[in-house]
Chains A and B, each alone.
Chain A
């Protein structure tokens, strides 16, 4: 499988005046169709990574490339979903789902003439996440978990080659979260789009991903890569598998270590000041 997303020695500084880097020497590569997870202590630049890969931010150093091309501006083949579902409150669910189609070419040009076809597609997607009865509801009538399902649908409606998820299930209760892991896994298994999931839930990462990148504290860089070889489809029983538990445990320790190093570094800087 060829490499789809690749970061070579990437660094990012948000502000010229700012001395600290958000990312420094981050290197990773993700194959086409792979499900990758990025975990790390808070403030390690996981979200910066999202912005770099999608081209919303330019790297200060190093190269970011997607699908063999260097990223120079916002990509147009990406679906994104965040912790905040950001559905438009003035649109009904179905119409919310159609939003990307009104923007992305070639759908944008075809939407008016092939409306019925697109609506069917949106309905199919709603069905896969169990929201088919709610297409006429407004987002604020739905629970957080349902909104997040819809958000996921919206990020997939234009069949992106790359799906970027930034803590999409972070605000949900544990049971709803596990339910949505399943939903996401089954959509991914049928469609096989390349996925990058940023999360600080290690169980979530191990449950969903083929490969997990562990990042250090700021300035973020990749300190470990884990291949997850557990068979699919994974289910809740998988999370009690000793192999699964070992992996989560190991990553947990790696993060604990970078966290303590990060704290020591901060303390040193404070003393120096």
Chain B
């Protein structure tokens, strides 16, 4: 296979997989006569989406706003925390057990507490999205900072570099690939957080919509909600993957670039 054909195949194959999956689904539902309230077929789900597109879009926008707000807070806090943990061994040792402990708590368990503090509605969704999303960012930034080559630190220290020099000239640029990689993980976690909070305590958002649909046995509408969340997740993921490639292309070492030879 030529390299051009191979690249075309790489672009096409995700669509082929999705298409095949939906087609199989449709075939199975039709062939076995599965009732829509057990498992609706993709066409029925699409019909439900078109029929309810107004409210769905409205709720989707609400979820997106909560997610993005929580995620932005998560980025700011996670980055700061990562820098602090990554640049001081003492803080690292001191905070790590606390962070691990915090991360092991299922966030669903915290939502009722958040409701108590922030009430029912968007603030709780934002807070949940934030709580889920900051952790991978902090850990990744800290890892990036902690893996700076000791020789390089020696080189710079012997030039009279300050801690701030090390951080801005070497540490942070070096942590950027880790940071951007964590954004892709965090944005999907932020969606999960927002939707969890909406299903527990909200009158808006995709999570709330699905809960309502479930209580009224409108299963196709529930599936439409699931698809909308998945779609938003994929799109935001792609946006951050694109930014990552643009910002830190050096980390993937542009594989098609010719390596110069010679001593």
Contact = CB atoms under 8 A, between A and B. Distances in A.
Interface stretch (B138-146, B181-189, B246-254): B246-254
A100 to B, nearest CB: 5
B46 to A, nearest CB: 45
A137 interface: yes
Interface in B240-263: 248, 250-251, 253, 257-263
Nearest to A137: B260
Nearest to A133: B260
Interface stretch (B14-22, B59-67, B82-90, B148-156): B148-156
B158 A105 contact: no
Interface string A192-210: 0000000000000000000
Given A88-B170, A140-B253, A100 B159 contact: yes
B262 A143 contact: yes
A63 to B, nearest CB: 19
A102 B151 contact: no
A24 to B, nearest CB: 23
Interface string A129-147: 0000010011011110110
Given A82-B151, A84-B151, A54 B263 contact: no
Contacts of B156: 99, 103
B23 interface: no
A88 B156 CA distance: 12
Given A56-B157, A103-B165, A143-B263, A138 B149 contact: no
A-side interface size class: 35 or more
Contacts of A179: 263
Interface in A44-73: 51, 54-56
Given A88-B170, A90-B173, A143-B259, A103 B161 contact: yes
A224 interface: no
Contact of B259 (A54, A141, A158, A180): A141
Contacts of B258: 141
B159 A103 contact: yes
A212 interface: no
Interface string B121-140: 00000000000000000000
B263 A145 contact: yes
A138 B250 contact: yes
Given A84-B149, A89-B250, A99-B169, A134 B160 contact: no
Nearest to B162: A103
Nearest to A53: B158
Contact of B160 (A51, A103, A176): A103
A256 interface: no
Most buried by B among A80, A84, A145, A176: A80
A102 B169 contact: yes
A67 to B, nearest CB: 14
Interface string A78-119: 111110101011100000000110111100000000000000
Contacts of B173: 88, 90
A76 B149 contact: no
B158 A140 contact: no
Given A51-B154, A86-B155, A143-B263, A74 B149 contact: no
A76 B259 contact: no
B250 A104 contact: no
Interface in A144-165: 145-146, 154-155, 158, 164
27 contacts: A54-B154, A56-B157, A74-B157, A76-B158, A78-B159, A80-B154, A82-B151, A82-B155, A86-B152, A86-B155, A88-B174, A90-B173, A90-B248, A90-B250, A90-B251, A99-B169, A102-B165, A103-B156, A103-B160, A103-B165, A141-B258, A141-B259, A142-B260, A143-B260, A164-B158, A166-B151, A180-B263
